């Protein structure tokens, strides 16, 4: 049984920032221009331990079309790819469509720091930011989302 939880935040005052990561040389930069291969790489690399399989069959053109529709932000640690998030906006809302860290960078506060960055950027685009997670995602994922001020608004069992 897999439980999917949808969470949202619609008031900047509810955002509880994560502290600084316990890593040196952290940078977060937007991927520009949009890069479908980069999106695919993160989806596969971050998602493999969590059974992200829905989009594995996308072609290179499909990945590029996806990248052209979202904002991809990449966290690096001393120049190494460490994590990412992708935001999809429809004007009224912003979805954190994908968010994750490579296993080697988990457990050092980077997740809370990067999620704070994602939520702040989301609020620059729309008044409501939302995402979903499930019980196959990282064990700290749901706790991190709630700790940053996101609140559940729906659950479903798959």
How many domains does the chain divide into? 1
Instruction: State the number of CA atoms in the 13 A half-sphere of 101 facing the CB.
Output: 24
C-beta of residue 87 within 8 angstroms of C-beta of residue 117: no
Between the alpha carbon of residue 106 and those of residues 79, 112, 136, the distances in Å are 16, 10, 16
pTM for this prediction: 0.97
Closest-CA residue to 128 (of 111, 110, 149, 106): 149
How many residues in the chain? 158
pLDDT digits (tens, 9 = 90+) for 78-131: 999 999 999 999 989 999 999 999 999 999 999 999 999 999 999 999 999 999
Tokens of 131: 């995402």
Residues spanned by the domain of 31? 3-157
Please report the pLDDT score of residue 91 as a whole number.
83
CATH of the domain at 62: 3.40.630.30
Quote the CA–CA distance of 37 and 25 in Å, as a whole number.
Answer: 24
Closest-CA residue to 33 (of 68, 2, 4, 3): 68
pLDDT digits (tens, 9 = 90+) for 50-90: 999 999 999 999 999 999 999 999 999 999 999 999 999 99
């Amino acid at each position: 049984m897999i439980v999917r939880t949808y969470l949202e935040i619609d008031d900047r005052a509810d955002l509880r920032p994560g502290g600084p990561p316990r890593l040196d040389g952290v940078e977060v930069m937007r991927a520009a221009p949009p890069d479908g291969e980069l999106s695919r790489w993160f989806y596969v690399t971050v998602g493999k331990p969590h059974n992200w399989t829905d989009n594995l069959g996308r072609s290179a053109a499909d990945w590029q079309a996806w990248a052209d529709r979202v904002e991809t932000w990449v966290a690096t640690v001393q120049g190494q790819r460490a994590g990412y998030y992708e935001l999809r906006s429809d004007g009224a809302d912003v979805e954190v469509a994908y968010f994750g860290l490579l296993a080697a960078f988990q457990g050092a506060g980077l997740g809370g720091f990067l999620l704070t960055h994602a939520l702040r950027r989301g609020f620059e685009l729309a008044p409501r930011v939302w995402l979903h997670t499930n019980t196959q995602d990282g064990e700290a994922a749901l706790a991190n989302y709630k700790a940053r001020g996101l609140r559940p608004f729906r659950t479903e069992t798959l």
